[in-house]
A and B are shown apart, each in its own frame.
Chain A
Amino acid sequence: MSETETAALTSSATPPLAPLLLGHPTDAELTHQLISPVWTPRSRPAWLAAFGVAALGTTLLLYAVTVTVWKGIGVWGNNIPVAWAFGIINFVWWIGIGHAGTFISAILLLLEQRWRTSINRFTEAMTLFAVVQAGLFPLLHLGRPWFFYWLVPYPATMQAWPNFRSALPWDAAAVFTYFTVSLVFWYLGLLPDLAKLRDAAPGRTRRMIYGIFALGFRGSLEQHRHYRLLYGLLAGLATPLVLSVHSIVSADFAITLVPSWHSTIFPPFFVAGAIFSGFAMVVTLLVPIRRIFGLENVITLRHLDNLAKMMLVTSWIVIYSYLIEDFIAWYSGSPYEKYQFFVARPFAPGSMVFWTMQVCNILVPQLLWWRRVRASPGLLVVIAVLVNVGMWSERFVIIVLSLQRDYLPSSWADYAPTRVDIALFVGTMGFFMLLFLAFLRLFPFIPVAEVAELSHELRAEEKV
């Protein structure tokens, strides 16, 4: 769509949309700009400092994992009745963050949203690394993680099979599939850019390394012809997949009888929350990186504006779900449901987390109604971080507060995390950062071929 068309479509009262690409770079300039971070890192001290912090976090994670495996999961704070706590909260939180990545790369591709082009590689990487963190928690929660393969139906000497009527093997299948498909999608998208890195590499060693990963891709007609179709096909597969993953995660809850969990709203509610928190994470990571690497011309205010709008929309789906949950609790007439929603959550121990969730997920995103807020990268980061806090709190409320107060008052007990719990959570953030920073250094995190194609399309349209 050309500038004039865009202006004609938006009503005269609103100013025209910011462009998706600034300036008129040639293909060579654009490619150079986008792959140069791989050869010549920018702001080295800042990067090293961030990498150091991330490495420290990763060390903490290794330590916490070692303690957990060595001593057993008794070192975690969860116990009956709160049998699921940090492990599952963090699992749900991390995997939810991954969802926005797939949403941007697959669903927005199918919807022909061009603004996804500059940010999809980056968010796919976010998805992969978030799923890695997520997978760690159920694995450790098994207690004896070295027997994880018992989840796979293989003819064992024990002569027993996994029970597939339980939601837990569904989870294993969903998370494994999600990770693998995301990896295939990401690698396929990376292939043309790896070829660029091979051809532009300054030295023989790097040319060989990137050459091996590029697999000899050379952009021939045949390669492009099948490539485009397969890429679209994978997007089509990833779209229902991303919806299914968090639905299956929510089934872990919904198939139980715990008050507030046993509800049909859980799958859409979880998916909306996942995409909400994922977009918040995209903004949290994107704004600083755009600044550090000087990418204001390819990640424009238009991108940030769209991301902010997506956060606003998903926040309203989440708010709507909260309202429906409350309504159903009241309408069900069940004293346990009513107690859970109207007494336990707002007033029982841990209710601070409930109120944090209310503020961060309901009130804070409403700032995004203002165009000025959406155009201010600094404010967007603050809002996004608060949304991430809010979404983590939501999972805490759903898991801990529900389990603390179920049917029998005699079995009520309060929950507090241990140091190992906190170290694991902080550690996964460090590990996530570590993977992400390494990715920023080793691969072009803006899809060069796609942006060059978009730039060419935009130029062609301007001429018309």
Chain B
Amino acid sequence: MRAGVLGELMTPEAMVAAIVGLRARGYRRIDAFSPYPVHGAEEAAEMKRSRIDWIVFPFALAGAGAAYLLQWYCNAFDYPLNVGGRPLHSAPAFIPITFEMGVLTAAIVGLIVYFALTGLPELWSPVFEVEGFERASIDRFWVGVDAGDPRFDRAAVEQALVELGAARVAWAGPRWAP
């Protein structure tokens, strides 16, 4: 969230209720910050299941395939070396490294894709400037509406958050904004 209005809630249940309430009021660009994943929050915000697995899968296959191909190229094609008369292209012997490289690629690509999707590393974000936001990682639950929401109106969102039980409401983002 680059700019928007945030409200502080005390419990995860209140956070989910606030998300539901904001959606009922027609807001679509809702974000929430919590110390741990809250059950039902993503469903309440009508977010779909993460697609990381499907993004990573082809990379894992490519990593494994490249490893197999490389072993074949080294030992069967470029420099065929007869070791005890064993077949040069011996698939079973190439499987372990193929598997390991598939797993390795998947793990590393998974981390990179995660960073790409969530915009990390981002050491500073406007939300960090909000007073009391440091407790979002300890025991407070913050819900907010992005200023880019088509129905965004600062006063109305603040009003809605208070109605939904926010203990305090704050503006995150540049000072000159609405």
CA A140 to CA B69, docked complex, whole Å: 30
> Could you tell me if A225 and B50 are in contact, using CB atoms closer than 8 angstroms?
yes
Contact of B175 with A by CB under 8 A: no
CA A80 to CA B32, docked complex, whole Å: 65
Q: Across the two chains, which residue of chain A brings its CB closest to B88? A: A165
Q: What chain B residues lie within 8 Å of A169 (beta carbons)?
A: 97
CA A332 to CA B104, docked complex, whole Å: 39
A159-B79, A181-B103 are known contacts. Are A219 and B36 too (CB-CB below 8 A)? yes
Contact of B90 with A by CB under 8 A: yes
Q: Across the two chains, which residue of chain B brings its CB closest to A175? A: B100
Q: What chain B residues lie within 8 Å of A181 (beta carbons)?
A: 103-104, 107
Q: Across the two chains, which residue of chain A brings its CB closest to B138? A: A31
Residue of B32, B93, B118, B123 touching A165 (CB-CB under 8 A): B93
> Could you tell me if A453 and B37 are in contact, using CB atoms closer than 8 angstroms?
yes
Residue of A31, A195, A225 touching B42 (CB-CB under 8 A): A225
Q: What chain A residues lie within 8 Å of B90 (beta carbons)?
A: 165
Interface residues on chain B, size class: 35 or more
Majority SS of interface residues in chain B?
A: helix
Q: Across the two chains, which residue of chain B brings its CB closest to A155? A: B78
> Could you tell me if B107 and A234 are in contact, using CB atoms closer than 8 angstroms?
yes
Contact of A28 with B by CB under 8 A: yes
Residue of B39, B42, B120 touching A216 (CB-CB under 8 A): B120
Contact of A230 with B by CB under 8 A: yes
Interface-forming stretch among B128-136, B154-162, B163-171?
A: B128-136
> Could you tell me if B110 and A221 are in contact, using CB atoms closer than 8 angstroms?
no
A192-B35, A219-B36, A229-B49 are known contacts. Are A163 and B123 too (CB-CB below 8 A)? no
Residue of A28, A212, A237, A251 touching B123 (CB-CB under 8 A): A212
Q: Across the two chains, which residue of chain B brings its CB closest to A245? A: B100
> Could you tell me if B107 and A229 are in contact, using CB atoms closer than 8 angstroms?
no
> Could you tell me if B97 and A218 are in contact, using CB atoms closer than 8 angstroms?
no
CA A216 to CA B12, docked complex, whole Å: 22
- State the Cβ distance, B88 to closest chain A Cβ, in Å: 9
Contact of A233 with B by CB under 8 A: yes
CA A241 to CA B96, docked complex, whole Å: 10
Contact of B152 with A by CB under 8 A: no
- State the Cβ distance, A203 to closest chain B Cβ, in Å: 14
> Could you tell me if A226 and B114 are in contact, using CB atoms closer than 8 angstroms?
yes
> Could you tell me if A161 and B103 are in contact, using CB atoms closer than 8 angstroms?
no
> Could you tell me if B123 and A224 are in contact, using CB atoms closer than 8 angstroms?
no
> Could you tell me if B52 and A226 are in contact, using CB atoms closer than 8 angstroms?
yes
Contact of B1 with A by CB under 8 A: yes
- State the Cβ distance, B5 to closest chain A Cβ, in Å: 15
Q: Across the two chains, which residue of chain A brings its CB closest to B135? A: A199
Chain A interfacial positions (CB closer than 8 Å to B) = 26-28, 31, 153, 159-167, 169-170, 173-174, 176-177, 180-181, 184-185, 188, 192, 195-196, 198-200, 211-212, 215-230, 233-234, 237, 240-241, 244, 248, 251, 449-450, 452-453, 456-457
Q: List 11 A-B contacts (CB under 8 A).
A: A26-B139, A170-B97, A170-B100, A173-B97, A188-B114, A200-B137, A216-B121, A218-B125, A222-B47, A229-B49, A244-B99
